[in-house]
């Protein structure tokens, strides 16, 4: 393979960056001259990118010989998969290896929001435990009803953990699956039934604002929303309005519209817990994701097929 055949659009992580350069001769676009694409784009056959950097149709058009894209991250809302498939370009993401960590964080946020762990931690640190006495009562988690929007790999890992908390689990998604959890064809009906509604679907136009004002109203003043999918799935203005009106009980959010950063209207609320999009952000999982970016390219070079293709 010629050295210029593999193009890396942006840094991915220390392991992937090193292996892509040392073992696969990747050209790092961000270290090249501004006209590198125009001069060498025609020779690029393989592309490494990430869900953060993405790859749009314009980039693909600049790479007429492109055959495979290997992207870091399970999400593909920033990749034009349709444009790639229309040209027969295989696109790989990094599923499976992050399921456990994202599901763990969903549960962390769910419990933190219900039991107000962050608020009670602030209470202790501010000396209020000593000065004011006991913390206000919070909401029980075990034995409640768990609704999941998007029962893919991550949603399933969240559901499995729900059994350890003696929860009933139902879900909503594109279609019912052969699973031991009830399917609710309507998201409003699922929200009405749920004590906790966890968003575990991907982003993009298909899922934009699925969690609407109506869904939040159905979840209700004792209901808690958790989002570890994408900020775009939730109508954030409606979420803020519902929290302000007290028509929603609380929220645990790893992803937000307009991230990085969070609106003050969410930051100052004790019934909201926010983490900075860290679902997969553990040493072990990030390493596995980076390795899979590299393995997908090796598999394509060896067998003409990436290991974990996005099938649409």
Q: Which residues bind ligand 8YV (CB under 6 A)?
A: 51-52, 73-75, 98, 277, 279-281
> Closest CB to ligand 8YV among 231 and 249?
231
Active site residue 277: yes
> Closest CB to ligand 8YV among 219 and 292?
292
On whether the CB atoms of residues 249 and 139 are closer than 8 A, the answer is yes
Q: Is residue 52 exposed (0-12), middle (13-18) or buried (19+ Cβ within 10 Å)?
A: middle
Q: How far is the CB of 75 from ligand 8YV (least distance, A)?
A: 3
Q: Which of 28, 192, 259, 287 is catalytic?
A: 259
> Closest CB to ligand 8YV among 227 and 280?
280
CA 81/CA 74 separation, integer angstroms? 13
Q: How far is the CB of 285 from ligand 8YV (least distance, A)?
A: 8
> Closest CB to ligand 8YV among 74 and 197?
74
H helix intervals, the chain: 14-24, 36-40, 57-61, 81-86, 99-115, 117-125, 128-132, 153-164, 187-193, 213-219, 236-245, 264-267, 283-303
Tokens 């763990």 belong to residue: 104
Active site residue 192: no
- Quickly list DSSP for 202-237: --SGGGTT-B-HHHHHHH-TT-EEEE-S-GGGB-HH
Residue with the closest Cβ to ligand 8YV?
Answer: 75
Q: Which of 45, 230, 286, 290 is catalytic?
A: 230
Active site residue 298: no
Q: Is residue 22 exposed (0-12), middle (13-18) or buried (19+ Cβ within 10 Å)?
A: exposed
> Closest CB to ligand 8YV among 235 and 290?
290
Q: How far is the CB of 203 from ligand 8YV (least distance, A)?
A: 9
Q: How far is the CB of 255 from ligand 8YV (least distance, A)?
A: 7
Q: How far is the CB of 150 from ligand 8YV (least distance, A)?
A: 13
Which residues are 183's β-sheet partners?
171
Q: Which of 184, 277, 286, 290 is catalytic?
A: 277
Dihedrals phi, psi of 56, to nearest 5 degrees: -100, 175
Residues with catalytic annotation? 230, 259, 277
């Amino acid at each position: 393979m010629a050295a210029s055949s593999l193009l890396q659009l942006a840094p991915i992580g220390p392991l992937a960056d090193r292996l892509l350069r040392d073992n696969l001769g990747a050209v790092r676009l961000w270290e090249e001259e501004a006209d590198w694409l125009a001069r060498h784009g025609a020779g690029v056959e393989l592309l490494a990118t990430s869900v953060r950097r993405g790859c749009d149709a314009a980039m693909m058009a600049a790479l007429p010989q492109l055959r495979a894209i290997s992207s870091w991250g399970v999400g593909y809302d920033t990749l034009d998969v349709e444009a790639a498939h229309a040209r027969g370009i295989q696109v790989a993401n990094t599923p499976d290896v992050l399921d456990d960590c994202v599901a763990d964080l969903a549960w962390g946020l769910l419990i933190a929001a219900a039991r107000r762990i962050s608020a009670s931690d602030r209470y202790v640190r501010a000396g209020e435990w000593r000065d004011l006495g006991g913390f206000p009562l919070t909401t029980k988690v075990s034995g409640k009803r768990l609704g999941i929007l998007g029962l893919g790999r991550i949603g399933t890992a969240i559901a499995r953990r729900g059994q350890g908390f003696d929860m009933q689990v139902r879900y909503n998604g594109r279609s019912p699956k052969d699973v031991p959890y009830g399917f609710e064809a309507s998201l409003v009906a699922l929200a009405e039934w749920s004590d906790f509604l966890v968003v575990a679907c991907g982003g993009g136009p298909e899922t934009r604002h699925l969690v609407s004002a109506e869904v939040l109203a159905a979840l209700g003043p004792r209901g808690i929303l958790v989002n570890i999918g994408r900020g775009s799935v939730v109508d954030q203005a409606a979420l803020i309005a519902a929290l302000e009106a007290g028509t929603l009980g609380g929220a645990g959010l790893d992803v937000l519209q307009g991230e990085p950063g969070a609106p003050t209207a969410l930051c100052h609320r004790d019934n909201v817990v926010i983490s900075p999009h860290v679902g997969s952000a553990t040493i072990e999982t990030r390493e596995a994701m980076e390795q899979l970016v590299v393995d997908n390219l090796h598999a394509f070079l060896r067998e003409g097929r990436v290991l974990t293709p996005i099938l649409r």
